[in-house]
Amino acid sequence: MKLVCHSVKKVVVSVLAVVLSALSLNVLAESGSINENNASAQIRIVQGYRPVARVVPELAQIVFFYPKGEIPATIYVDRELQSALMPGEFTVFCVAPGPHAIESYFNDKPLYEGKKNPARQINARGGETYFLHVNPGTRGSTTALEERATAEEALRTMRKQTRIINRASQVKPCEYVNGNDVVLIQESILFRFAKGNYAGIVPESVAKLNNIVRFLRQGNGIKEIQLVGYTDAIGNRDANLRLSEERAQTVLEALVRSGVSPNIIRNISGMGVAQAAEGCGVSASQQNSGCNSNSRRVDIIVK
């Protein structure tokens, strides 16, 4: 994929253009699908799997993936919700070294036995990555530890889970030892409905953005940063395309203000409606549905 480098001058001009265009935003603009002509002019980033790098010794990394099945699998970390995977989805997170109850569960309601009485524990070692495979099932846990080569063959065609925000307190932001062309960070910064400025970033994502900035300012051999903005499925198509661009520019400005060099931010684009929002409700009353709220975002990809 060819990336276009932005000089500082071009970034400033682009920011001014977005500010001017934002004045005409519809207050309820948050969606509408992009037509093929608009999409072809953008660089599309797919939330697919990219080989993960080695984490620092102070952390252990977990890649949980669910290749095939029929029903959702709930992912618990030390008795707290990390995510829920549909067949074909994966999630990546880090924990401190040591013993952790990390497993998937099917049909855990209403007793929540998987949450209350976890059956499997991993003694995670610092600097290591563990691939956990959700096998098909309908009840209880079918989690299995998988070799990296086998896991990554299955992960090639899978997509990252973005609907549910982690609520497990033991999960920590991953920090990596750079090597080759691997993804060091792939995170989403969420925005409030119809908002594109910094004040519109939800509090949990402000904290996440601060953690990312700390990682970026450490150097870590970073080669490039990509910022891709999206909206949910509510509102005017053209206004939402502009709103997605505004969100990407807002994150760009926040990174640069925090001391991140604009020279390594090499792709800043707005894609309009997120793929995850297709099929969601399109009325303002449905703005809080998961497929809409998790589509109001900027994806940050750091290599």
Examine the domain organization and report whether 77 and 109 are in the same domain: yes
DSSP H or E stretch at residue 187: strand 185-190
The whole-angstrom separation of Cα 49 and Cα 65 is: 10
- Co-location of 70 and 207 in the same domain: no
Q: What average pLDDT does the segment 135-147 reach?
A: 92
Beta strand pairing status for 122-124 and 98-100? Answer: antiparallel
Task: Tell me the pLDDT tens digit for each residue of 95-119.
Answer: 999 999 999 999 998 888 888 888 8
Residue 298's pLDDT is: 96
Q: Residue 245 and residue 196: Cα distance in Å, rounded?
A: 9
Judged by DSSP in three states, 85 sits in: strand
Provide the percentage of residues in the chain whose pLDDT is more than 90: 50
Residue 45 in this model has a pLDDT that exceeds 50: no
Confidence of residue 191 (pLDDT cuts 50, 70, 90): very high
The token duo for 10 is: 């071009």
- Alpha-carbon Rg for the chain, nearest whole angstrom, is 19
Say whether 30 sits in a helix, a strand or coil. strand
| pLDDT of residue 122 exceeding 80 | yes
Give the CATH number, domain containing residue 104: 2.60.34
User: How many distinct structural domains can be found in the chain?
Assistant: 2
- Same domain? For 73 and 130 the reply is yes
The CATH number of the domain where 270 resides is what? 3.30.1330.60
The residue behind tokens 């994502």 is: 205
| Host domain of residue 33 | 1-53+178-303
Highest mean pLDDT among 6-20, 22-36, 209-223, 241-255: 241-255
Look at residue 277 in the predicted model and tell me its pLDDT.
82
Instruction: Identify whether residues 162 and 199 lie together within a single domain.
Output: no
- DSSP-derived secondary structure letter, 197: S
**Rounded Cα gap, residues 77 and 34, in angstroms:** 38
Structure tokens belonging to residue 286: 């449905």
Q: What are phi and psi of 225, to 5 degrees?
A: -125, 135
pTM: 0.55
Q: Which residues of 105-118 are buried (b: 16+ CB within 10 A; e: fewer)?
A: bbbbeeeeebbeeb
Q: What is the mean pLDDT of the chain?
A: 82
Domain end point (choices 169, 202, 230): 169
- The reply to whether 12 and 61 lie within a common domain is no
Same domain, 182 and 283: yes
Give the H or E element holding residue 245.
Answer: helix 237-257
Identity (one letter) of the amino acid at 186? Q
Which of the listed residues 169, 196, 226 is the one where a domain comes to its end?
169
282 pLDDT band, cuts 50/70/90, is: confident
Residue 30's pLDDT band (cuts 50, 70, 90)? low
| Domain identity same for 182 and 49 | yes
Using CA atoms, how far apart are residues 212 and 298, in angstroms rounded to an integer?
13
**Looking at residues 273-278, what average pLDDT do you find?**
82
pLDDT tens readout for residues 49-105: 888 888 889 999 999 999 999 999 999 999 999 999 999 999 999 999 999 999 999
Structure tokens at 208: 């996440």
> Of 169, 204, 226, which residue sits at a domain end?
169
